[in-house]
Amino acid sequence: MTSSLQAALDPGSIAVIGASENPDKIGGRPLLYLSRFGFRGEVWPVNPRRDEVQGRRTVPRLSALSRAPDLAIIAVPGEAAVAALDECGAIGVKVAIMMASGFGETADPAAQAAERAMVARARSRGLRMIGPNAQGLANFGTGAVASFSSMFLEAPPQDGPVGIVSQSGAMSVVPYGLLRARGIGVRHTHATGNDADVTVCELAAAVAADPALRLLLLYLESIPDPHHLAEAAAIARDRGLPIVALKSGRTAAGQAAAQSHTGALANEDRLVDAFLERHGIWRARDTTDLVAAAELYLKGWRPGGRRLVAISNSGATCVMAADAATSCGLDIAPLREDTQGRLRAILPSFAATRNPVDITAALMTNSALFGQILPVIAADPSADAFLVGVPVAGRAYAVDDFGRDTAAFAQATGKPVVIVAPQEIVASPFRSRGLPVFPGEGEAVRALHQLIAHRERMAAAAGRPPHPAPPPPARTPPRLLDEAESLGRLARAGVPVVRHRLCRTAEEAVAASVEIGGPVAVKGCSAEVAHKSELGLVHLGVSGDAAVRAAFEACRTGLAAAGHASSGVIVAAMARGRRELVLGAHRDPVFGPVVMVGDGGTTVEAMPDVAVLLPPFSEAEVERALGGLRIAPLIAGVRGEPPLAVAPYLAAAVAVGRLMVEEPAIASLDLNPILVGTEPGACMALDAVVFVEGTP
């Protein structure tokens, strides 16, 4: 955390430029909040036209202060805001929050240029800026509430273990409001606006260092600076602090809307997924999703696995819990036989005891059944988490006992427990004992799955080496290497490539074909041709001296006719495998080197079945990525066929990842097809297209 951002989160003094008497005005509300929420530092309202606002003495201008405030809130619009920011820089303010709109988020190039210019001037004086178009920062731990949100009037704050950092003002306080309505305390609620200087990700890294936090929520419309988010994730992981991020602009329509909201640049969405996963951050799909598992995180549970036991007085809850668990990859594993025997001794004969455990409607006439079976289930080691569903109960049931017994059960096992209780009368005795309650089986199971899968993701992310930053933009368009150079470069990097010779003469080609043996492929080689087939430069299955000679001549004349410089003619072995895979890599302007693995051949663009990985990564990570693809069953071997020998492919993918990290000059590469067979020796790239930066 830089000291500037510490000053933003925990300032000793705050100036409010454009301070207003009216607490419903942008320049009035922060003053109200600083008083109401107990800020103990100094507060200096700046207003040239009044001596006093909201009971505090003003100064007419910032320069009239005897010393610079740590934080300045700029609540004046347009030109005045720009002038105020410059004044902050001049007197040595550490951080300024620019609330004014009408800069980089507009389509106006002049306004965008003004934003860039003010950032440059601020930075040159050591001033950090949050905004413009920022709702501001709110820290309920210190009372430093430098925000004009109306939400803190509607839903009174309470300091607590959750932090929220958002570009959007609304999306800082919507999750705040949802959590507060559920009684959860929130310490940080920050909205950063256009992120022209300080970004959500940079601020998140500062917030993640707060030792009181136990859950950090982010709302992002763009990730221009993944290295800051990586830093935040590393700080959080070190402390076991989970980060849940809602990154919107998932779709083209969403990205267009984000562009007109904060001027956000579009990220390629599958790279966002890959980046968040790599760093152990969970991705939420929407607002409800962002806060759905909050109670589970705050319990501090550390699940040991994916085996879920469901317990209910409703068979339907049992069925739906089993469906939901299977759908999201949790196991409904049977309880141990001895456990089932003990349950059978308690429950009626028509109850189910395997898992799910269906107490049946017998609970209506004997509420004690609930408390009797829980200790039996608690003693069984074959469960990692529990769902307790009481979809219906009423005055005939001892619902308070259910809450008490379940709380004791949760305490005894130390394992996650979620409750399904759509009726408030039933939910209340569970909730009052700190158990997370959901209205339906779907929500409960999905929250539990999130907790479990997120903790798995955080564990997997621990100790991963850093992912390199993207390169500076290239000054010249990357240039193509010819096929021989491309194959050579990849072979040196450790990628198996087809046996081949680059031949200058027909005699060399014939000699190469004899040396290689059997029918060969004969291909024109040029650094000016990426797609050879279309120019008739690929001759397959060529046998015999005369045919090789003819194919050589066809390639030579084909290149000449098309006016392309020739590097010669490649003679290569005709290789066969069981499946054509693909291996590609490029450099994303935001996320840096990216490697693509998956199914290859001619349909890779029309029907992609690929995964992206951010290097460096291990062979196990490549294998896991392949396991999530449609071709996974082919790799494992289908219908009695032997499995594919993918180990050399995994190694090749790791080698390509290493190459992209170690040789920044390589702009992109595409190996398609790279053959995989049932024997390791069958794995080889048949073609390679490499683009490099710089002049030859």
Tell which positions 591-620 bind a copy of itself, by CB under 8 A: 603, 605-607
Instruction: Rule CB under 8 A: choose which of 258, 437, 490, 625 binds a copy of itself.
Output: 258
Going from the C-alpha of 529 to that of each of 26, 58, 477, 498, 562, the distances in angstroms are 60, 71, 16, 19, 10
Interface residue with a copy of itself among 52, 79, 238, 286 (CB under 8 A) is 286
Torsion of CA 637, 643, 648, 654, to 10 degrees: 40
Which of 62/134 has CB closer to a copy of itself? 134
Q: Would you state the structure tokens that stand for residue 361, as one six-digit string?
A: 């409607």
Q: Report the residue number, 194 or 526, with the smaller CB distance to a copy of itself.
A: 194
Q: Phi, psi (5° rounding) for residue 479? A: -110, 150
Instruction: For the segment 170-189, give every residue that binds a copy of itself (CB under 8 A).
Output: 170-171, 173-174, 177-178
Q: What are phi and psi of 357, to 5 degrees?
A: -100, 115
Binding window for a copy of itself (CB under 8 A); candidates: 31-39, 45-53, 117-125, 252-260:
252-260
Letters for 482-521 (x = contact with a copy of itself by CB under 8 A, - = none) are ----------------------------------------
**Of 421 and 669, which has the nearer Cβ to a copy of itself?**
421
Within 22-51, the residues that bind a copy of itself by CB under 8 A are 24-26
Q: How far apart (Å, rounded) are the C-alpha atoms in residues 628 and 598?
A: 10
Residue ranges in 623-682 that form contacts with a copy of itself under rule CB under 8 A: 630-631, 633-634, 638-639
Residue of the chain from 4, 142, 314, 340 that contacts a copy of itself (CB under 8 A):
314
Q: How many residues bind a copy of itself (CB under 8 A)?
A: 97
**Rounded Cα–Cα distance for residues 135 and 141 (Å):** 19
Q: What are phi and psi of 405, to 5 degrees?
A: -65, -40
- Compute the radius of gyration of the chain from its Cα atoms: 32
- Distance, CA of 111 to CA of 101 (rounded, Å): 10
All residues at 6 or more sequence positions from 308 whose CB lies less than 8 Å from its CB, including other chains: 321, 325, 330, 331, 332, 333, 383, 384, 385, 386, 387, 445, 448
When asked if residue 110 is in the footprint of a copy of itself (CB under 8 A), the reply is no
Footprint of a copy of itself on residues 411-430 (CB under 8 A)?
422-423, 425
Does 327 interact with a copy of itself (rule: CB under 8 A)? yes
Among 113, 316, 345, 565, binds a copy of itself (CB under 8 A): 316
- Cα 421 to Cα 89, 183, 424, 426, 430: the distances in Å are 56, 18, 7, 6, 9
Candidates 12, 41, 224, 254; binder of a copy of itself (CB under 8 A) is: 254
| Contact between 354 and a copy of itself per CB under 8 A | yes
Residues 361-380 that bind a copy of itself (CB under 8 A): 361, 364-365
Phi, psi of 47 (to 5 degrees): -160, 115
* Nearest CB to a copy of itself, comparing residues 504 and 630: 630
Q: Count the Cβ atoms, other than its own, within 10 Å of residue 334.
A: 14
Q: Residues 25, 37: contact at Cβ < 8 Å?
A: no
> Is there binding between residue 531 and a copy of itself (CB under 8 A)?
no
530 contributes a contact to a copy of itself by CB under 8 A: no
Q: Cβ of residue 34: shortest distance to a copy of itself, in angstroms?
A: 18
Among positions 140-169, residues that touch a copy of itself (CB under 8 A) are 149-151, 153-155, 166-169
Lookup: tokens for 107: 């389509």
